[in-house]
Amino acid sequence: MGTYIIKRLVHSVIVLFGITLFVFLLLYFSGDPVRLLLPMDATAEQYNAMKQAMGFNDPFFVQYLRFLDKAVHLDFGISLRNQVPVFGLIASYFKNTLLLATAAFIIALIVAIPSGILSAIKRNSILDFIISIFVVLGQAMPLYWLGLMLILIFSVDLRWLPSGGFGYSTNLILPAITLGVFSMSRIARMSRSSMLEVLNQDFIRTPRSQGLAEAQVNFKYALKAAAIPIVTLIGTEYCILLEGTVVTETIFSWPGVGQLVVQAAYARDYPVVQAVVILITAIIVFFNLAIDIIYTYLDPRIKYGKL
């Protein structure tokens, strides 16, 4: 297992290096941020002086290596738009994004996994049919449309919940539901499919034939065996939730990283965009590694050290 983890860490470093190079290259050719920072009547001397002071006159690889050296120490420079350290700026917004993504993730898990399991156990029943309809609807509805509909119903018509803004209680409900519905549908569908595949196997029929209670067979034996693809999807879905907060945060005026990176992209605030992409990528890589380690508990047959 140790050998596998080392290999995965090496691969993760390569992935992060490739992402940093790609993002830096993409933003390098996207436009000149100096012209956005200077007033319209700025002279050529002022323009050249600021460009020289910010290091934009250096060759591409000099700029990239300078950025990479600082990024290793979590120093992403100064925001061109806000004139504050980038890492501190992102940290102040990122906690709000984590709150929203985690709330949506918890809602998705609480609803999706029991629904998928019940749908598999009660296959071809009315309950299975109803859950399948909601799964299809959850995957078919666009995120922005669902958010607007929830605002229209629960904020405008019923006036039960606020339509936007930051908060730890009622303000969190609508954006968390909006963000979590798609993941909820995917996890429920995977839970159902995985459970159906396991319930027909011999090692499940054997304890059932020995007289064990159906609930014990389903949750002690079947669920653990069916958990590997579910865990894989769950880890992936949390990363998708972190990436998918841009639309939700915009609709509900939620002050998170998604809204920050949109504003930074419009303002050509290179350091902020680069830092957000790299940090999100690092989180995704970490989650993928953690999921692979969890596999060793779920399936003892996996011997990563021999790979």
CB 178 within 8 A of CB 103: no
Query: CATH code for 86-306?
Result: 1.10.3720.10
Give the integer Cα–Cα distance in Å for 43 and 40. 9
CA angle 210, 212, 216 (to 5 degrees): 145
Residue with tokens 């590694």: 289
CB 238 within 8 A of CB 180: no
Residue 307: predicted pLDDT = 44
Tell me the pLDDT band of 296, cut-offs 50, 70 and 90. low
* Straight-line distance from the first to the last Cα atom of the chain, in angstroms, rounded to the nearest whole number: 9
Residue range 157-172, pLDDT digits in tens: 888 888 888 878 888 8
CB 292 within 8 A of CB 304: yes
Q: Is the pTM value of this prediction over 0.75?
A: no
Identify the weakest region by mean pLDDT among 7-11, 138-142, 152-156.
Answer: 7-11
How far, in whole angstroms, is CA 88 from its chain's centroid? 21
Q: What is the arithmetic mean of pLDDT over 86-112?
A: 87
Task: Map out the domains of the chain as residue ranges.
Answer: 14-72, 86-306
> Which structure tokens are listed for 69?
């050296």
Tell me the pLDDT band of 13, cut-offs 50, 70 and 90. confident
Give the integer Cα–Cα distance in Å for 138 and 255. 25
Give the integer Cα–Cα distance in Å for 247 and 261. 11
Residue with tokens 């020289």: 52
> Which structure tokens are listed for 76?
């992403």
| Average pLDDT value for the chain | 78
Q: What is the arithmetic mean of pLDDT over 60-69?
A: 80
Residue range 145-161, pLDDT digits in tens: 888 888 999 988 888 88
Residue range 211-245, pLDDT digits in tens: 666 666 666 666 666 777 777 777 778 877 877 78
